[in-house]
Structure 1
Amino acid sequence: MIEDRSLEKHELEFVETNPVDIDHLEDQAAANDNGHGHGLPSYDAAETHRVLRKIDWRLLPPLALLYLLAFLDKGNLGNANVAGMSKDLNLTGTQYNLAATMFFIPYAVFEIPSNIVLKILRPSRWITLLVILWGTIIVCAGIVTNYHGLLIARIFLGVAEAGFFPAATFLVSEWYCRFEVQTRMSVFFSAASMAGAFSGLLAYGIQQMDGIANLAGWRWIFIIEGIVTVLTGLAIPFVLPDSPEGASWLTPEEKRFIRYRLERDSGTAEGRVETLDHFQTKYLVAAIMDWKLWFTVFIYWGNTIPVYAFSITAPTIIKDLGYTSAQAQLLTIPVYFAGLVSTIGFSWAADKRRSRWPFIVIPYGISLIGFLGLLAIPHPKLPGLTYAFLFPITIGVYPAVITLVSWVANNIAPTSKRAIGLAMSIMMGNFGGAIGSNIYLRQEAPRYWTGYGVSIACSALAIASTFILKWAYQRENRKRDQLSEEEVRAKYTEAELLDMGDKSPLYRYVY
């Protein structure tokens, strides 16, 4: 049975499936109050469930829609290519790969600055700006006339989209406790799988506009999807909540309750975490100096290198099996739908079992089987088996990365360090997209030795790194278990413990 026994021993279980002992919390507030816990309302499990559902319906749908559009807009290059883009723009295989690659460099570089902005501007305003900007760029991609125009559009798209995913994950972590986060993240992250399926269906429909206004069908793919993104962005300030304090649809008592339970979500009954801190340079330094965060990058590459390569190549792989372009677009739908179901299923299990590492290792193991199968079978023989082995890839790589992002968010405090740490992990992880964009070589079709081989290596590295990180978190928790609360409080003040964040002896890591 997979459970975090060290954490379970100490933790206040602020989860909707367990009663909330408000009397105990009020005693703790009286003992440790630093100005945040006043007049806490008495909520049982049913009331806690009601409050969480209220948040779910307000926060998750807009994030899911935005993430669907983000993934759709950065992945529609593959759909446009199948629809004739390379032919019309006279692109060589190298030029197409480079256009795909250049998106990821600014996409990675601008993620940390973007999350720093989150501690300065309201998240809804910052996300609105990003969405409108990248939608406009996608529209412009639909009117480029040569390779250089496409390249410029992809670079600016990377700049505009860079901030959204780290901002969305940070925003979710600002509303929910540690073992409530991943299930919620999976709802909007599964939109990536939905986008993969939806893009094939949408591209198939839009291709039928070929010739309207003397524009090719692939141009309409960019133009229509870009316009939808811009219109959605205009509505974001009115529907996306920033924080509990600014939510008009929460009562004052509910706001205090949400903030207090987040402050107590440290992994021990005695510990607290700061949730209303402001950006300071020391948090940037603390994130950069944390070796465990750098190890998450290797785990992240198990997703970004294979998945971005796969997303822009999957329609071509299917087309090479003997299908038409339209059929290839449609046949991507079941593959991505399998990834959607697995993302939600694995994430629910990870929160239910109160653990993270197994739900990275198992999915990556499944994707590893898929890549091994594609590498081993003779091509172009057995087209049905080739298509079947595409399913383990989406079933594995999508849930693994959302578990990793939740793991990172679970184990960083205070919120300023969490914002930077999340962005840093995602930034370095997304550099893998630049690699992934170049591993499926046209001259190797339909075998794609390099693409499948590199993906196998990335999956294996991610699994090994997960075991190392699990060991590190377990070891640190055991060391902290040796100290009593009395010993800790004799050495540190409450303010010092809050400032230490996840380095506090009263904090326990999730693994």
Structure 2
Amino acid sequence: MSEKGADIGRAPSAPSLDEGQVAAEKQMRDIGADLYLELRQYSREGLDAERKLVLRKIDLVIMPIICITYTIQFLDKLSLNYASAYSLIPDLGLEGQRYSWVAAIFNFGYLFWAIPANLLIQRLPVSKYTGCMILTWSILLCCHVAAKGYAGILILRFLLGMFEASISPAIMNIVSMFYTRQEQPLRMCVFLAFNGMATMIGALLGYGLGHVHNAAVKSWQLIFLVMGLLNFIWAWIFLWFMPDSPSSAKFLTHKQRVVAIDRIASNMIGAVEAVLDIKVHALMLIGLGCGVINGGVSNFASALLRGFGFSGIYATLLQLPTGAFEFVLVPLCGLAAGYFRDSRCIILAIICLPPLGGLLGIRLTDLHHRWSLVGCTWLQYLIGAPVILSWNLLTSNIAGHTKRSIANGLWFLFYAAGNIAGANIFFAREKPRYFSAITGLIVCYCGMFAIALFLRQWMWWENWRRDKRYGKGEDDQAVEEGFNDMTDRESKHFRYAL
């Protein structure tokens, strides 16, 4: 490698670089531009021969870590829902709207830390930062056992939301560093499907721990304690095995690291532009809708099922099939999005229809048909598919170091705000139907359907305009512009993934 190539990634020797140059150097360090310079030493045939092996090794190491991380962090989010099926509410005085505020305060913490989390992820070693966050929230989750009243649980839930705000943008960052834009939809849907695995594990844990009768430790306290300890153990495993980037992946040889950089060079991974970009606005609104639905379903599924005539312990067990539902169907959406060209927005719109039908069923079906109502409730757990497809649209279609950080932060900001709203539109006086909440969720799905189709048409028109003016498709110039930290608007050779 040339002397010039060896110098890339070192700190600048003088502070005369302007902010744009610093951002560009940071971007080059992040994706291993020093290794990218080595590509000229290898033939294209030699690199292509290694690509499948490198992808296989990445799938065998990175994907299991991400999937397990997503499973345990979603268990954290569901812990309050499962605990509420037992004596949590009377023990801590959470009757009426107090429980709604305990559910919502998590998202205030998330909202508070959403943009700072995204900026820190871009500036710190991503795996080390994420591992420390997992360790911190595992301790906070264990501290829930000691909560004695309304104020204490509010503080703990706020802090838990704050420290969990980093996990999804961190995983998005890792996926964009290791996988091409064509590979991302399936992988992102696979790891989000492990939310379904978390639902199944959580339902079994909640059901099993509900049979523990101990005056000193209540069932709801055991739920928080067991889930906290699982997170604590996993934090150390994550810190040990997860690399910060392809250039630091110990499970790859030096040449394979070069190949890994070559694979993602065309991803082309600037803050005023983010807040003025119509794509970011559309995805923010989808994030808001997803948040409202998630905030309602994840915190009130047990309440809905109890309202249909099932006892607390069976209301927990009945959430087991929802996990299997999500675990199977969400990856199928990712597989379709990766297989059918330019289908991501269309699939996002279509996948909104089954849960929308389920909401209409809850709204209109007689309470005597309680198993029909249970089936309609299960459909609500498909919310993971719109979430992950909107993430993929973000990572695939927003280029530029700063712009991507701000766009991700804004999405999670609106998602957290939606979760707050979703947890507070389930009014205790309206149970078991919760008509206001169900109507609100129906409006969200209708809005997401329309916005997804609008976004696809806008990006298709922009691609057509660029093809007509600058020539068809992306080329080597697009890769070079990506390494120069140009945004998708600045790079005339960038094309949007629909």
Deviation at 1:352, TM superposition (A): 0.7
2:399 is matched by which residue type in structure 1?
A
Report the RMSD for the aligned CA atoms in angstroms.
Answer: 2.4
Distance change (3 Å), C-alpha of 1:221 and 1:477 = same
477-486 vs 333-342, which moves further: 477-486
Residue in structure 1 matching 2:321, options 334, 355, 359 = 334
Cα deviation, 1:400-435, whole Å, max 9, x if unaligned, reads 211111111100113443233223212222210001
8 Å Cα contact 1:372/1:456 also seen in 2? yes
Matched, 1:264 2:266: yes
Q: What letter corresponds to residue 367 of structure 1 in structure 2?
A: P
2:227 counterpart of 1:241: no
Pairing 1:122-271 to 2, within 5 Å after superposition:
122-211=125-214, 214-265=216-267
Structure 1, unaligned runs of 5 or more: 1-32, 266-272, 276-282
Aligned to 2:335: 348
Matched, 1:447 2:433: yes
Q: Is contact 2:128-2:244 (8 Å) kept?
A: no
User: Residues 244-288 of structure 1: CA distance to partner in whole angstroms, max 9, x if unpaired?
Assistant: 1001221222211221232234xxxxxxx3x5xxxxxxx233322
Task: Describe the superposition over 1:457-492 as per-residue Cα deviations: whole angstroms up to 9, x where unpaired.
Answer: 000011111112112101111110112459x99x99
Gaps of 5+ in 2: 1-34
Which amino acid is 2:460 matched to?
A: Q
Which one of the candidate residues 107, 110, 122 is aligned to 1:119? Answer: 122
* Distance (Å, rounded) in 2 between the aligned partners of 1:67 and 1:181: 16
Q: Secondary structure at the match of 1:424?
A: helix
Share of identical aligned residues, percent?
27
Stretch deviating more after TM superposition (35-44 or 288-297): 35-44
C-alpha distance after superposition, 1:66-92 (max 9, x if no partner)? 111111112211111111101111222
Please point out which of 274, 294, 298 is paired with 1:311: 298
Instruction: Trace 1:345-384 onto structure 2 (pairs within 5 A).
Output: 345-354=332-341, 355-378=343-366, 380-384=367-371
1:293 maps to 2:296: no
Shift of 1:338: 0.6
Tell me: CA distance 1:206–1:496, structure 2 relative to 1, closer, same or farther (3 Å). Answer: closer
Q: 1:417 and 1:175, CA in 2 relative to 1: closer, same or farther beyond 3 A?
A: farther
- Structure 1 residue 58 corresponds to structure 2 residue 55: no
Asked whether the equivalents of residues 58 and 241 of structure 1 are also in contact (C-alpha less than 8 Å), the reply is no
Question: 1:493 deviation in Å?
Answer: 13
87, 93, 104: which is aligned to 1:101? 104
CA distance in 2, matches of 1:298, 1:71: 23
The CA deviation at 1:129 is 1.1
2:42 is equivalent to residue 40 of structure 1 = yes
Cα distance in structure 2, aligned partners of 1:312 and 1:320: 14
Cα distance in structure 1, aligned partners of 2:410 and 2:179 = 21
Residue identity matched to 1:152: I
Q: Distance in 2 between matches of 1:495 and 1:351?
A: 25
Distance in 2 of aligned mates of 1:493 and 1:367: 40
Q: 1:45 to 1:476 in 2, by over 3 A?
A: same
Change over 3 Å in CA distance of 1:388–1:235 after alignment to 2:
same
Provide closer, same or farther for how the CA distance between residues 132 and 496 of structure 1 changes in structure 2, counting only shifts above 3 A. Answer: closer
Tell me, yes or no, if the aligned pair for 1:170 and 1:422 is still in contact at 8 Å: no
Pairwise mapping of residues 339-488 of structure 1 onto structure 2 (< 5 A)? 339-354=326-341, 355-378=343-366, 380-395=367-382, 397-484=383-470
Deviations, residues 142-167 of structure 1 (Å, cap 9, x unaligned): 11111100111111111110111111
The TM-score normalised by the length of structure 2 is 0.87
Distance 1:364 1:223 in 2: 35
Instruction: Note closer, same or farther for the CA distance 1:373–1:331 as it changes in structure 2 (3 Å cut).
Output: same
TM (norm. structure 1) is 0.85
Identify which range, 253-262 or 89-98, moves more after superposition.
253-262
Distance 1:481 1:98 in 2: 50
Q: Distance in 1 between matches of 2:378 and 2:357?
A: 10
CA shift, 1:61, in A, is: 1.1
How has the CA–CA distance of structure 1 residues 157 and 479 changed in structure 2, closer, same or farther, with 3 Å as cutoff?
A: same
Read off the aligned partner of 1:308 and give its amino acid letter: G
Measured at CA, do residues 417 and 145 of structure 1 come closer, stay the same or move farther in structure 2, by a change above 3 Å?
same
> 2:309 matched to 1:322?
yes
User: C-alpha deviations, 1:319-376, integer Å up to 9, x for none?
Assistant: 2222222111111111221122110111111011132111101110111111111111
Number of matched pairs: 459
Cα distance between partner residues in 1 of 2:257 and 2:36: 17
Q: Please, which of 31, 54, 70 is the counterpart of residue 67 of structure 1? A: 70
Alpha-carbon shift at residue 290 of structure 1 (Å): 1.8
